[in-house]
Amino acid sequence: MKKVQFKSSYSQYFFLAPQLLILLIFLYWPIIQTFRDAFTIQDAFGFGSYFAGFDNFKFIFSDPSYYTAFKFTIIYSFVITLITGSIGLLLAVQANSVLHGKNVYKTLLIWPYAIAPAVVGVMANYFFSERFGLLYHLFNNLWGFNWYQDVFDAYIYVVIAGSWKQISANFIFFLAGLQAIQKTVIEASIIDCKSNIRRFWTITFPLLMPTTFFLIIINITYSFFDTFGIIDTTTIGAPGSETKTLVYKAYIDGFKGLDLGSAGAQSIMMMLIVLVITIFQFRYIEGKIHYN
- Binding residues vs another protein (CB under 8 A): 99, 182, 184-185, 187-195, 198, 202-203, 206-207, 209, 290, 292
By beta-carbon proximity to another protein, the closer residue of 141 and 184 is 184
In the bound complex, what is the minimum distance in angstroms from residue 292's beta carbon to another protein?
6
By beta-carbon proximity to another protein, the closer residue of 44 and 197 is 197
In the bound complex, what is the minimum distance in angstroms from residue 220's beta carbon to another protein?
24
In the bound complex, what is the minimum distance in angstroms from residue 86's beta carbon to another protein?
20
Residues contacting 289, CB < 8 A, separation 6+: 209, 210, 213
By beta-carbon proximity to another protein, the closer residue of 130 and 192 is 192
In the bound complex, what is the minimum distance in angstroms from residue 100's beta carbon to another protein?
9
In the bound complex, what is the minimum distance in angstroms from residue 191's beta carbon to another protein?
5
| Other CB atoms within 10 Å distance of the CB of residue 291 | 7
3-class secondary-structure state, position 41: strand
Rounded distance between C-alpha atoms, residue 288 and residue 251, angstroms = 38
By beta-carbon proximity to another protein, the closer residue of 131 and 290 is 290
Report the length, in residues, of the chain. 292
Are 265 and 60 spatial neighbours (Cβ–Cβ below 8 Å)? Answer: yes
With 0-12 / 13-18 / 19 or more C-beta atoms within 10 angstroms meaning exposed / middle / buried, residue 29 is exposed
In the bound complex, what is the minimum distance in angstroms from residue 190's beta carbon to another protein?
5
By beta-carbon proximity to another protein, the closer residue of 58 and 198 is 198
Rounded distance between C-alpha atoms, residue 16 and residue 67, angstroms = 43
In the bound complex, what is the minimum distance in angstroms from residue 201's beta carbon to another protein?
12
By beta-carbon proximity to another protein, the closer residue of 20 and 190 is 190
In the bound complex, what is the minimum distance in angstroms from residue 205's beta carbon to another protein?
10
Q: Where are the alpha helices (DSSP H) in the chain?
A: 11-23, 29-38, 55-62, 64-97, 102-110, 117-128, 134-143, 151-180, 183-192, 196-199, 205-207, 209-221, 228-233, 246-251, 260-280
Q: Which residue from 118, 156, 80 is spatially nearest to 248, judged by alpha carbons?
A: 118
By beta-carbon proximity to another protein, the closer residue of 114 and 197 is 197
**At 15, which amino acid appears?**
F
By beta-carbon proximity to another protein, the closer residue of 105 and 228 is 105
Q: Please give the C-alpha separations between residue 275 and each of 66, 170, 217, 265, in angstroms, as whole numbers.
A: 19, 22, 11, 15
